[in-house]
């Protein structure tokens, strides 16, 4: 009988094959994509009881050398990321059906095939038992999403794709690969282990230098100034933006950051050495600077892109505080931000499909004609801001507790200021949509003009997910507590 880990890796491959095989029949092709996505989520979900009970299901594919193997092992953080990636793949596929058909997009078969490959990359990253395996799937994720970023084939799309590919490949090959080789040389292994593998293997300023190589080599985490690829990638269709910002790419980046800090360096080792303290200040600065830049953007997707850069650094900041509560908060924020931000991008795409508007200044009164979409945008915004009863409230709460636990009260202030900035760049979109009259308004009641039903179903599901996560946060905490050493 095939193991669940092997099945989780094979299902996205099956999705690629079925998508290509049934490309001539869109209904059958899209139905297969939905069924494969649902099967993947159920496969990953079936492993939850085993991991909660302390089990660590494992699978070894092959060995390159006796000490270098392509292997997989599921632990709590990997399970969380796999659940997020597989679950939101299903919802994004539903959304894509409505969006791509309403827009009459070309090359839809290629789009769905690359999407499945990207999810395979994300699942491989989530399940990786060592850095070597993670690096292989990390690069697969980069390469498989490039055709999605350049989907439209215009000069603007190709230019954005070059920035996307250039930044991500140069950081991973030039910095991350060097860090992997260095780690293998001093530690003799690349395995993820509780407590890390570098304590006693490297000392002094070299610890900080190696951490630098990792943090900036993981370009998908978008730590400033290695963030330009993310706004550049906004030339892609909105379902791709959702994939980049919530489902796979950026979450693979911050997931890798947490894995490296917890299982390669060891949070206790970094806290005691003091050589990683610089990271919390860079992350804190990124949180604030990206928020200020977001406030200046009139294009809705551009504003959300810089919001994502800021929110990713919440996760990096939590990991860099090196305390149990901050690490749990950072890990929780992977799921909380994913659900809130994918809702916002779904809403942005729905507005574009229905009205062809992309600039916030043109969205006066949009809530009157698209009430469902704008209400979902409000829910997603409140979750990103961190207000109850939305999921983002809990992850920010644990991040703040982690900052107190570490004695770094300045970062409590950073989190509070950032939340105020979140209000400043997100709620005006809602206010303009609900309370401003469109420039061409008359006294008659405008007709409701929502996006296609598939788009509406998807954004309603993710908006509801923001609420559900608030009430089930204790389940997440119990899953993630071992990561922080609890």
Higher pLDDT residue, 230 or 464?
A: 464
Highest mean pLDDT among 105-109, 305-309, 449-453: 305-309
Whether 242 maps to a domain, the answer reads no
Confidence of residue 446 (pLDDT cuts 50, 70, 90): low
pLDDT of residue 64: 86
Confidence of residue 439 (pLDDT cuts 50, 70, 90): low
pTM for the complete prediction? 0.94
For residue 140, the number of C-alpha atoms closer than 13 Å in the C-beta half-sphere is 20
Whether 193 maps to a domain, the answer reads no
Across all residues in the chain, what is the average pLDDT? Answer: 91
Q: Over the stretch 141-154, which tens digit does the pLDDT of each residue have?
A: 999 999 988 988 88
pLDDT of residue 317: 96
How many domains does the chain divide into?
1
Whether 456 maps to a domain, the answer reads yes
Whether 111 maps to a domain, the answer reads no
Angle at 381 (CA atoms; ends 375, 382), nearest 5 degrees: 95
Summarize the confidence of residues 381-404 as an average pLDDT. Answer: 95
- Please give the Cα distance from 444 to 209 (Å, whole number): 65
Tokens of 479: 């899953």
Three-state DSSP string of 54-85: CCCCEEEEEEEECCEEEEEECCHHHHHHHHHH
Whether 303 maps to a domain, the answer reads yes
Question: Minimal CA–CA distance to 117: which of 145, 139, 84?
Answer: 145
Whether 293 maps to a domain, the answer reads yes
- Please give the Cα distance from 452 to 459 (Å, whole number): 11
| Structural domain for 370, as ranges | 276-486
- Please give the Cα distance from 419 to 398 (Å, whole number): 14
- Please give the Cα distance from 150 to 137 (Å, whole number): 21
Q: Over the stretch 5-34, which tens digit does the pLDDT of each residue have?
A: 999 999 999 999 999 999 899 999 999 999
Check pLDDT > 70 for residue 309.
yes
Whether 413 maps to a domain, the answer reads yes
Whether 466 maps to a domain, the answer reads yes
Question: Minimal CA–CA distance to 330: which of 270, 264, 395, 257?
Answer: 395
Q: Which is it for the CA torsion 393, 285, 195, 85, positive or negative? A: positive
Torsion, Cα 353 356 357 358, to 10 degrees, reads 70
Check pLDDT > 70 for residue 344.
yes
Check pLDDT > 70 for residue 447.
no
- Please give the Cα distance from 417 to 36 (Å, whole number): 42
């Amino acid at each position: 009988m095939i193991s669940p880990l092997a099945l989780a890796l094979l299902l996205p491959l099956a999705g690629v094959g079925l998508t290509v095989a049934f490309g001539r029949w869109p209904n059958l092709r899209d139905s297969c994509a939905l069924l494969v996505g649902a099967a993947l989520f159920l496969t990953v979900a079936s492993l939850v009881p085993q991991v909660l009970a302390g089990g660590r299901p494992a699978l070894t594919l092959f060995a390159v050398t006796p000490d270098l193997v392509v292997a997989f092992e599921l632990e709590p953080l990997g399970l969380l990321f796999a659940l997020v990636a597989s679950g939101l793949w299903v919802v994004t596929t539903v959304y894509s059906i409505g969006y791509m058909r309403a827009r009459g997009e070309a090359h839809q078969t290629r789009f769905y095939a690359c999407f499945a490959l990207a999810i395979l990359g994300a699942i491989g990253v989530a399940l990786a038992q060592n850095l070597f395996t993670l690096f292989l799937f990390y690069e697969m994720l980069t390469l498989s999403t490039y055709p999605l970023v350049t989907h439209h084939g215009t000069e603007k799309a190709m230019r954005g794709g070059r920035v996307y590919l250039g930044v991500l490949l140069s950081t991973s090959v030039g910095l991350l690969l060097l860090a992997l080789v260095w780690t293998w040389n001093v530690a003799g292994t690349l395995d993820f282990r509780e407590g890390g593998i570098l304590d006693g293997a490297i000392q002094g300023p070299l610890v900080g230098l190696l951490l630098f190589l990792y943090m900036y080599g993981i370009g998908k985490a978008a730590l400033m100034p290695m963030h330009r690829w993310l706004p550049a990638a906004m030339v892609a269709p909105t379902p791709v933006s959702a994939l980049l910002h919530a489902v796979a790419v950026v979450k693979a980046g911050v997931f890798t950051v947490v894995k490296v800090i917890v299982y390669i360096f060891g949070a206790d080792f970094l806290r005691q050495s003091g050589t990683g303290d610089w990271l919390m200040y860079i992350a804190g600065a990124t949180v604030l600077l990206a928020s200020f830049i977001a406030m200046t953007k009139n294009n809705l997707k551009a504003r959300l892109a810089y919001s994502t850069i800021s929110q990713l650094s919440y996760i990096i900041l939590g990991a860099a505080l090196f305390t149990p509560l901050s690490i749990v908060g950072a890990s929780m924020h992977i799921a909380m931000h994913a659900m809130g931000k994918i809702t916002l991008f779904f809403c942005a795409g729905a507005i574009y499909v229905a009205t062809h508007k992309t600039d916030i200044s043109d969205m006066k009164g949009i809530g009157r004609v698209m009430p469902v979409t704008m209400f979902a945008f409000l829910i997603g915004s409140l979750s990103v801001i961190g207000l109850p009863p939305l999921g983002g409230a809990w992850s920010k709460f644990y991040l703040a507790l982690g900052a107190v636990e570490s004695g770094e009260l300045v970062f409590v202030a950073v989190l509070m200021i950032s939340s105020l900035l979140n209000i400043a760049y997100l709620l005006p979109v809602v206010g303009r949509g609900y309370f401003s009259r469109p420039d061409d308004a008359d006294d008659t009641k405008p007709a409701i003009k929502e996006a296609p039903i598939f788009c509406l179903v998807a954004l309603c599901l993710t908006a509801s997910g923001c609420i559900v996560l608030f009430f089930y946060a204790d389940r997440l905490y119990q899953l993630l507590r071992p990561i922080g050493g609890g």
